Amino acid sequence: MVSSGYRAILKEEIGPEAKNFINNLLIVTLGSGLASLGTFAFTILGGRLLGPEEFGKFSLIQSVAFILYIPMLAGFGVGLVKYASETSNLLQQKKILGTTFRLTALTTVVSVIVILLLRPWIIEIFSITPEMLIIALFVSVVYVLSSMANSVQRGLKLMKSYAVWQPVYAFILLVLFGVFAFLRVDSFRAMALPLLVAYGITGLGIMIMLGVRNHLSFGYDYNTAKKLMKYSFFGLIVLISSSIYTNVGRIFVAHYLTFSDVGVYSAYFGSSINLGSILFLTFNAVFFPTISGYEDQRPVLAKFERILPYFVIGGITGVFIFESIALRLFGEGYPRDIWLMVLFAATTVLNIWYLVYSNVFNAKGLRGAKYSAVTVVIMALVIFSLSFGLIPIFGVAGAVGASAISFGVGIIFLRGFRQQVFGRLNDQPPTNLN
């Protein structure tokens, strides 16, 4: 069935590389699919129980946490996956892991100290309370642990392990949320604290498992550090800018509108753009380590562009249908607007389209990462500028409209940079994925 679908869409026979890729993808999809059901249930139940205002506060905590973690992780996770997946030598992999761990530990400690020193300014900028900031800070730290643990699994291509731990995270979320609901806790804490604990337990659990399997090392190698820092510098730029265009909508909505509006925006976002991001992360858990090992990524781009019409039409339709169902489940506090749903669905497809291009560029190494970093900075400037003008006038629609334009700009720039990074796509026949 998979072979027939591959042959029908791409007009060629499936080869061993593609089979291995699809097998790994199916394994990860199974685990991530179960996890997505759990996290979706957590989001829906939380939105219904807390209502738009408290759900909006929780969403804002998430956004702030995912901005605060940027200097902590400093782009080293992407570098770890890139370089660990390129070699099968266990000693070399351990050297990469150990060096990455030490660098990340240093940046995390320094970042926490700076954030605490700047606490009054951060509270004012993000329109949050001191308690919300402290929770966001804790979430960001444990998210770094969880993110690094997942990066190790991806870099070492431990896809079965990666697939198993995804639903464990979702199970912890649901169980703890159930406890808070039973205790009739109806504030943002009922969602924020389970999130904090789930990241911490899964991150620590994965690290212990990797240690038992003798995959971990905490040694430090100067040359490896130099290589990681060079690549991760561009990864950090991408991380900063992508975090801005992912989270700026909530922050500007909170600044110009109300926590309830943040809750409504988050309900639409969770039913569309976040869904697309989860699906792409599932795909990319296998995709990026795989294509990082290729000398030539042009066949990947060529194949993606062949299926692009199916992806755009099917993607917008599928996301719109999912939104229709999800927003009904959120309840009456979250109004359903057809045009807003269409706008969020189109933005979701543009987001995934951009992410595919961006990851193919990053897989090319420093040369591709430089162009990817330039593009994402431009995108961040676009969405930041547009949010100032559109959100006060159009509200939630202005926030997602700014995101859509930003993703479109990113796609245009990366398409324009293709020849500088890869040469012409048709210079040689596609062979990598056959």
- DSSP class per residue in 347-395: HHHHHHHHHHHHHHHHHT-HHHHHHHHHHHHHHHHHHHHHHHHHHHHHT
Output the pLDDT for position 429: 43
Burial zone of 398 (CB within 10 Å; 0-12 exposed, 13-18 middle, 19+ buried): buried
> Can you read off the two tokens belonging to residue 155?
């870099």
The alpha carbons of the chain give a radius of gyration, in whole angstroms, of 21
Write down the pLDDT at residue 346.
94
Residues 140-198: tens digit of each pLDDT = 999 999 988 888 887 777 777 777 888 899 999 999 999 998 888 888 999 999 999 99
CB neighbourhood size of 293 (10 A): 15
Q: How far is Cα 365 from Cα 150, in angstroms, rounded to an integer?
A: 21
Which DSSP letter does residue 430 get?
Answer: -
Helical (H) or strand (E) element with 280: helix 273-292
Could you state, in chain order, the average pLDDT of each consecutive group of 10 residues for the chain (434 residues)?
49 59 69 79 89 90 90 80 75 81 90 94 89 94 90 79 84 92 87 93 88 68 77 69 72 86 89 80 71 73 82 92 90 88 94 87 79 84 89 91 92 86 58 44
Domain assignments of the chain as residue spans, ordered by start: 14-422
How far apart, in whole angstroms, are the C-alpha atoms of residue 322 and residue 287?
25
Opening angle at CA 379, ends 375 and 385, nearest 5:
145
Distance CA 55, CA 186 (A): 10
pLDDT at 251: 84
Task: Extract the tokens encoding 424.
Answer: 């012409």
- Report d(CA 157, CA 292) in Å as an integer: 12
| CA 169 from centroid of its chain's CA atoms | 16
Identify whether the C-beta of residue 165 lies closer than 8 Å to the C-beta of residue 202. yes
pLDDT for 57 equals 92
Q: What is the value of pTM for the model shown?
A: 0.73
Q: Are 325 and 382 in contact (CB under 8 A)?
A: no
From CA 150, how far away is CA 274, in angstroms rounded?
Answer: 19
| Joined tokens for residue 242 | 């992508």
| Contact yes or no for 193/180 (Cβ under 8 A) | yes
Residue 58: per-residue pLDDT:
92
Residue with tokens 């993606």: 304
Q: Tokens representing 46?
A: 């939380």
pLDDT for the residue 215: 66
